[in-house]
Amino acid sequence: MNLQNLGYNFDIAIEAMKQNRLRSFLTSLGIIFGVASVISMLAIGRGAQEEVLDQMKLLGTNNIIVQPVVEQKEGDVESSGGDAFTESSSKKFSPGLTLQDLEAIRTNIPYVETVTPEIIYDTQIIRSGRMRTGKIIGVSDEYFEINESSFELGDNFTDSQVEESLPVAIIGAGIRAKFFSGDDPIGKRIKAGRVWFRVVGVLEEKRISNQQIENLGIRDYNMDIYAPVTSVLLRYGNRSVVTGDDVGGGGGSTTTMFFGRGFAISTSSSSSGVNSGDGNTNEVDRLIVRVEDNQYSVAVSEIMSRMLQRRHNDVVDFEIIVPELLLEQEQRTKNIFNIVLAAIASISLIVGGIGIMNIMLASVIERYREIGVRRAVGAQQKDIRMQFLTEALTICFVGGFIGIVLGIVLSLVIQWFAGIQTIVTLASILISFGVASLIGVVFGYVPAKRASEQDVVVALRYE
C-alpha cells in the first residue's frame, strides 16, 4: 500500500469519527485510561528505583556497617532462680567496639579495602553569638571517600593533622549555611562543646529527605562537624578507658593508647562540654567497612561476625548490617508491587481493545452499503480491510495521545498529593503507546477482515 492510499484511508477514518464523535470518544476511553494508568504506574516504579539508588549512594555501594547493640542474653530459668538475666548468668566481659577491632578487620579479613570509625558526641555548636545543638563526629581521613562525599571548599585531613591530633574540622553544608552565611569558613574557627576547631574543609550538600533519615536510620550529614578520630578521643574522652573520675577519685587521669595508621592518643577524663553520660562504653560508635567488590559483602560480613565474636569473648554486643542486601530486597519488593500495578493498569488497555472491536463490528454492519459501493467501483478486499483497520488504529492513536498527556498529569498529581517520587520516562511513553497501537491492530483486525469478506451484491442490497 502506497502513502496515497494510506492517506485516503486515514481521511475516511477521521470523517467517520467526526460523524460519531460521542461514540468514538467513548470507544477510546479504555485506551485513554489504560495508557494513562500504565504511564503513571511505570513513573511510580521508576521513582521508587531512583529512591533506592539514592539510598545506596548515601550508605555506600560496597559498605558494611558494624555498630554496637545491647547484648542479647539467654539462660535457664530454673538455674537462675527465676531470673535468666542475673549477674551470675552473665559473667563474660566484652570491651565493646574499639579501634583495635578496626585494625583487626583491616589486617586479617580479605577483600576489605578500608575501614573507618565513627565516634559520635552530642554537643553545642557555637559561633558569633549563634548556637544550636549538633554532633561532633570523629572519623579517619578515609571516611569521606567511603561515604562518597565531595568537598565544596578546602580539603581532607592531612596525615600530620591526624597524627598530631590537631583541633581541625570539616563541616557539612548545613553548618556552613547556619554559621558562616556569606563568609568563607576555611581557616576560621567554630566551637563544639568547649573545644575550638579550625575549619579546613566544607562538604558539598547531600540531599537527604526526612523519610530517608527515618527509614535508613542515618543522620543529616549536612549538620555535622567532622574531626580526626584522634582529636575527638583526646579532647572528648575515650569511653573505653576507666579513669580516676569513673572510680570516684575525682582527680582525673591520662592514658596513652597506640593503634595502627598513626592512631596514638592520650585520653583524659576532663570535661569537654559533650553529652557522654548515656552509659555507652564502646570506644567506637560505628565502623564502616568497604569491600573491594559487593559480591564479597556477604562472605566478609560472616567472617567479620565470627572474628568479632571471638574478640569480644563470645559476647554478641554488635550487629553487622549490609545495606546493599537490605536495599536490594526493598527494590525487589517494590518491583513486584510495580509489576502488579502495571498489570492491573494494562487490563484497561485490553478492555479498551474489546470496546474497539465491539464498536467496529457494529460499524461494519452500519456501513454495508458503503462497503458494497467501494467494492463495486473496484476496491479490493485488502483495501476494505485496511480502511477499517486504519480506523481502529486512528481511534487508538487519538486515545493514546490523550492518555499520554493524562498519564503525565496524573504522575505529577500523585507526586504532589501523595509525596511519592514519580519519574516519567520516554521508554514508558513509547511502551504504553506501542501497546495501545498493538491492541488497535489485534482487536481491529477481526472487524476489518469481516468487512472485507462481505459479498458485493448482498452489501449493495442491504438496507
Q: Per-residue pLDDT tens for 359-387? A: 777 777 777 677 777 777 777 777 777 77
- Mark whether 103 and 145 lie in a shared domain: yes
Q: Give the Cα separation of 145 and 156 in Å (integer).
A: 10
- Mark whether 348 and 288 lie in a shared domain: no
- Mark whether 221 and 83 lie in a shared domain: yes
What pLDDT was estimated at residue 56? Answer: 59
- Mark whether 291 and 355 lie in a shared domain: no
Q: 393 lies in a domain?
A: yes
Q: 65 lies in a domain?
A: no
Query: 269, 287, 316: which is the final residue of a domain?
Result: 316
Q: 60 lies in a domain?
A: no
Count the residues in the chain.
463
Q: 321 lies in a domain?
A: no
What pLDDT was estimated at residue 350? Answer: 80
- Mark whether 92 and 38 lie in a shared domain: no
Q: Residue 244 sits in which domain range? A: 70-316
Query: 316, 340, 362: which is the final residue of a domain?
Result: 316
- Mark whether 282 and 366 lie in a shared domain: no
Q: 352 lies in a domain?
A: yes
Number of domains in the chain: 2
Q: 402 lies in a domain?
A: yes
What pLDDT was estimated at residue 273? Answer: 56
- Mark whether 110 and 28 lie in a shared domain: no
- Mark whether 437 and 392 lie in a shared domain: yes
Q: Identify the segments of the chain with pLDDT beneath 50.
A: 79-82, 84-89, 244, 247-262, 264-271, 276-277
- Mark whether 369 and 271 lie in a shared domain: no
Q: 61 lies in a domain?
A: no
- Mark whether 168 and 299 lie in a shared domain: yes
Q: 257 lies in a domain?
A: yes
- Mark whether 151 and 84 lie in a shared domain: yes
pTM greater than 0.75: no
Q: Give the Cα separation of 13 and 387 in Å (integer).
A: 7
What pLDDT was estimated at residue 169? Answer: 94
What pLDDT was estimated at residue 226? Answer: 93
Query: 283, 316, 349: which is the final residue of a domain?
Result: 316
- Mark whether 191 and 308 lie in a shared domain: yes
